[in-house]
């Protein structure tokens, strides 16, 4: 199960597009010491080949396999977009879980996210959380 910490949760984010949201996430992963410069481009390459929208308002952007060398250490950060971000084709993301993962470690994060965020009500509550504590409580509720 994902181990959430307040330092890896970012509330009230705003982005005008999927690209802008991924840029926010990539810059934050770089600043957090999870990835190297160039990670944004690697995430966009992945997004163009296979979109990372999971459904129920959740997206899981990560880098393309060819760019795994840009990952310093495996980790993730969660970005709340209360107003939503268009992920294309009528899909809107309210919770974006950005992952930097060595090899296939993102698959475990993906599995954990899918288990926890499998329903729209939970995503709605996460999108409306007003504190990191409330976000974590909602996220961990079964």
Residues identified as active-site: 62
Measured between alpha carbons, how far is 122 from 109 in angstroms, rounded to an integer?
18
CB within 8 A of 115, min separation 6: which ones?
Answer: none
Task: Provide the residue count of the chain.
Answer: 142
CB within 8 A of 135, min separation 6: which ones?
Answer: 9, 11, 78, 80, 126, 129
Nearest to 57 by CA among 28, 6, 21, 29: 21
Nearest to 97 by CA among 115, 69, 88: 115
């Amino acid at each position: 199960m994902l181990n959430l910490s307040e330092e890896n949760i970012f509330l009230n984010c705003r982005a005008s597009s999927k690209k802008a949201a991924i840029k926010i996430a990539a810059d934050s992963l770089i600043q957090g010491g999870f990835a190297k410069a160039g990670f944004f481009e690697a995430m966009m390459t992945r997004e163009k080949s296979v979109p990372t929208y999971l459904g129920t308002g959740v997206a899981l952007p990560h880098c393309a396999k060819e760019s795994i060398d840009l990952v310093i250490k495996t980790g993730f950060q969660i970005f709340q977009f209360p107003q939503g971000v268009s992920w294309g084709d009528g899909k809107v993301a309210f919770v974006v879980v950005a992952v930097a993962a060595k090899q296939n470690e993102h698959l475990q994060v993906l599995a954990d996210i899918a288990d926890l965020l499998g329903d729209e009500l939970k995503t709605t509550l996460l999108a409306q959380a007003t504190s990191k504590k409330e976000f974590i409580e909602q996220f961990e509720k079964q």
